[in-house]
Structure 1
Amino acid sequence: MSKTKKKTFLLDFEKPLCELESRIDQIKTLAEENQVDVSAEISQLEIRADQLRQEIFSTLTPGQRLQLARHPRRPSTLDYVQAISDEWLELHGDRGGYDDPALVGGVARIDGRPVVIMGHQKGRDTKDNVARNFGMAFPGGYRKALRLMEHANKFDLPILTFIDTPGAWSGVEAEKLGQGEAIAYNLKKMFSFDVPIICTVIGEGGSGGALGIGVADRLLMLEHSVYTVASPEACAAILWKDAKKSDRAAAALKITSWDLKELGIIDGIISEPSSGAHANPVDAAVKLKQAIWKNLEELWQMTPQQRKELRYQKFRNMGRFEIVEAQ
C-alpha cells in the first residue's frame, strides 16, 4: 500500500502509530543516503512502534472497532475468495430476472475440495460502492444466495458465507419486491440443509441483511468485525433522537467479537494482523482459511442430522434469560 493511500484512509487512533512508522522510514532513508549506522536507534524505535501498536489495538472501544470494520481498505468477500481458493467461478442471477451485485457467490475449490461461497460485496471507492449498493442486498440477492445454497445441498458441497453489510436494502423498491419474505425464507431453508454451513463476519454484520446468509453450524467473526441487530447510528437516533451518540449505542449493543463470544452468539474469533486486516490482507486471509478449514474438518465428522440439530440448538439458545425475583 502506498503512503498516499495510508494517509487517505487513516483513522484517528492510527495517526500516532503512522507518524512513528513514517519517522522510522525517514531515518532509514537518511541513514542509507549518508551511509550512517543507526541500527540501534532504529531497533529502539521499532520496539516502541510494536508497543504502541499493541496499546492501540488492544484497547479499542466498540466505536473504534466499528470504524475498523468499515475501513475502506478492509478486505472484501471477493478479496478473500481470490486469496483462499484454488479455483473460483462466480455464478449470477436469481433465476427471476435479477442479478444483485451487492451479494456475490459461486463455486470454488479450496485445497482441492469443492465448496460453494457467497457473501456481501462492498466497493473500494464511491463509484464502486454505488454500483454495489454499499453491500446492501436487494431481495434478488438473497434469492440468488438461496439458489446457490440449494445447489450446494444437492451436490453435497459445504456452504461458506462471508457477512459484510450495514443491512439489507430498505428502500421502497426492495419492499415491493419482498425483502422481508426473501430473508425469512432463507432463514427457514438454511436450517434444513444437510451440508456443513460456516458463516464468517468479515466486516460489518448488520441486522436482517446479515442474518439472510447467517444461519450456520459454526458462526465465526474476524477479531475487529462487528455484528449487531441495528447500526449504532440507527440505535442512537431511535433511543436518544441523536445519531451522534453512536459510540454510546455501540458500547450498549455489545457488537464486538469478544462481547458476542462471551454471550454465546458466535462460536469463534479469528485473530487479525496486529494493525487490522487492512494492514496485511494476505496474513488475514491465511488465518481465515485456517479457521474455516479447522471447523469444516470437525463438521464433516458429524452426520447431517447432528449438524441440523446443532444449528437448531444454537439459535434456540440465543436470547434465553432468567427472571430473578428481588429479595
Structure 2
Amino acid sequence: MEYLDFELPIKELEEQLDKCELIGKESEVDVTESCKNIEKKLLKTKKEIYKNLTAWQRVQLSRHPNRPYTLDHITALAGNTFMELHGDRTVKDDKAMIGGLGKIGDQSFMFIGQQKGYNTKTRQYRNFGMSNPEGYRKALRLMKMAEKFGIPVVTLLDTPGAYPGLEAEERGQGEAIARNILEMTRLKTPIITIVIGEGASGGAVGIGVGDVVYMMENTWYSVISPESCSSILWRSWEHKEQAAEALKLTAEDMKKQKLIDGIIKEPLGGAHYDRETAFKEVEKTILEAYDKLKKLSTTELVKKRMEKYAKMGEFKG
C-alpha cells in the first residue's frame, strides 16, 4: 500500500499493528490487548483524518496509484459479459478511451470511460488517460450504437484532460469534444455519468453529459486542474492547495452548486482501501438511476436532459 503525505500517521500505526501481530505469532507472549488498543487508535486516527480532508487532499486521493480505474470498475460490474469495442472508423483506436457492451444482472449497458495505466509501460500505452479526437469519436460511435438498440449508456470519468498535443489539435480535438456534447444532449437513450477519479476540463465533459451525474466521494470535477490554475494565476505550482479550495471542485462543492445529482460514498480511506464495497456502491447507484430513467419516454428523457444543463449557471439578481 502506498501512502500520501497526510496518511503517514496511519502508516505508522499500521506498521505497529503488523509488528504486534507478528510478535503474537512468533512468541508465547499474549499481545491481544496491545493489538486491540492499536486497532482502536488506528480507527480513530483514520476517522479524524478522512473526515477533515481539504480539497487538495481529495485531489491527491483521486490520483492514488492504487485507486481502481475504469476497467477495474467495468470488470467488477459486468464481469466476463463485457465485450470491448474498438476504433472510431476514421483514424485509429484510442487506447485512452475504452468502451463496450456488458451486463449488470440481466440488463445490458454500453460502458465508456477513460483508462489510465498502472505502471510506466501501460501509462504510455494509455496516454495517461488523455484521449485524442479519435477517442471521443469512438465514444460517440458507441453511444449512437447504444441509441440504435435502446441500450442505456454508462460513462466513467477519470482523466487529467484531453490530450493537448499538436497532432490532436490538427485532427480536431475541440470539434470532437463539442460534437460529443451536442450529440449527448439529444441522445435518445439514458446516460448515467459517474466521476470515478479525476474529472478535468473538456476531456471529462466530452463524455460527461448525463441524465444523472454522480461523483465518488474522493474525486474532483473542474474546468482546470489545481496545478494548471496555480501556474496561470501565480506563475507557479506552489499555490495548488489554494487553487483547489478556490475552484470548488470536490463532490460536496459540486452538489451544493447543483452541478451533480449525488455523491457515491466511499469506504473509509478511499475506494482503494476496500474495492469490493466501492464497486457495489457504484453498481447500486447505476441500477437505481436506470430504474428511474427507464420509466421516461424518449421525448421526456431528452427534454429533461436539455433543461438540466440549460439551468446551470443561472443566477437571479
TM-score, normalised by the number of residues in structure 1? 0.95
Amino acid at match of 2:239: K
Give, in angstroms, the shift of residue 219 of structure 1: 0.2
**Cα distance in structure 1, aligned partners of 2:184 and 2:91:** 23
Amino acid at match of 1:24: L
Deviations 1:27-54 (A, max 9, x none): 0110121133222222222111111111
Whether 1:48 and 2:28 are equivalent positions in the alignment is: no
Amino acid at match of 1:295: A
Question: Which one of 19, 35, 38 corresponds to residue 31 of structure 2?
Answer: 38
Aligned counterpart, 2:316: 322
Amino acid at match of 2:17: I
Q: Which runs of 5+ in 2 are unaligned?
A: none
Give, in angstroms, the shift of residue 311 of structure 1: 1.0
Question: Which one of 64, 68, 76 corresponds to residue 75 of structure 1?
Answer: 68
Aligned pairs for 1:283-298 within 5 A? 283-298=277-292
Question: Which one of 254, 259, 271 corresponds to residue 253 of structure 2?
Answer: 259
**Cα distance in structure 2, aligned partners of 1:163 and 1:138:** 15
**Cα distance in structure 2, aligned partners of 1:49 and 1:311:** 45
Deviations 1:177-206 (A, max 9, x none): 000100000011111112110000000000
How many residues get paired? Answer: 316
2:20–2:34 CA contact under 8 A, matched in 1: no
1:222–1:257 CA contact under 8 A, matched in 2: yes
**Cα distance in structure 1, aligned partners of 2:311 and 2:242:** 27
**Cα distance in structure 2, aligned partners of 1:44 and 1:317:** 52
1:72–1:125 CA contact under 8 A, matched in 2: no
Aligned pairs for 1:200-279 within 5 A? 200-279=194-273
2:202–2:223 CA contact under 8 A, matched in 1: yes
Whether 1:194 and 2:188 are equivalent positions in the alignment is: yes
2:186–2:306 CA contact under 8 A, matched in 1: no
Amino acid at match of 1:32: K
Aligned counterpart, 2:15: 22
**Between 197-206 and 291-300, the greater mean CA deviation after superposition:** 291-300
Whether 1:143 and 2:147 are equivalent positions in the alignment is: no
Aligned counterpart, 2:154: 160
**Cα distance in structure 2, aligned partners of 1:37 and 1:83:** 40
Give, in angstroms, the shift of residue 130 of structure 1: 1.1
**Between 149-158 and 294-303, the greater mean CA deviation after superposition:** 294-303
Aligned pairs for 1:108-119 within 5 A? 108-119=102-113
Question: Which one of 301, 304, 308 corresponds to residue 307 of structure 1?
Answer: 301
Identity of aligned residues (%): 45
The runs of at least 4 consecutive aligned structure 1 residues that moved more than 3 Å come to none
**Cα distance in structure 2, aligned partners of 1:221 and 1:296:** 16
Aligned counterpart, 2:6: 13
Calculate the aligned-residue CA RMSD, in Å.
Answer: 1.0
1:223–1:269 CA contact under 8 A, matched in 2: yes
Question: Which one of 56, 63, 78 corresponds to residue 63 of structure 1?
Answer: 56
User: What secondary structure, in the 3-state scheme, does the structure 1 residue paired with 2:178 have?
Assistant: helix
Amino acid at match of 2:181: L
Deviations 1:189-237 (A, max 9, x none): 1111121100000000000000000000000000001001001111111
2:83–2:102 CA contact under 8 A, matched in 1: yes
Aligned counterpart, 1:124: 118
1:159–1:195 CA contact under 8 A, matched in 2: yes
Amino acid at match of 1:29: L
User: What secondary structure, in the 3-state scheme, does the structure 1 residue paired with 2:270 have?
Assistant: coil
1:105–1:116 CA contact under 8 A, matched in 2: yes
Amino acid at match of 1:153: E
**Cα distance in structure 2, aligned partners of 1:176 and 1:204:** 25
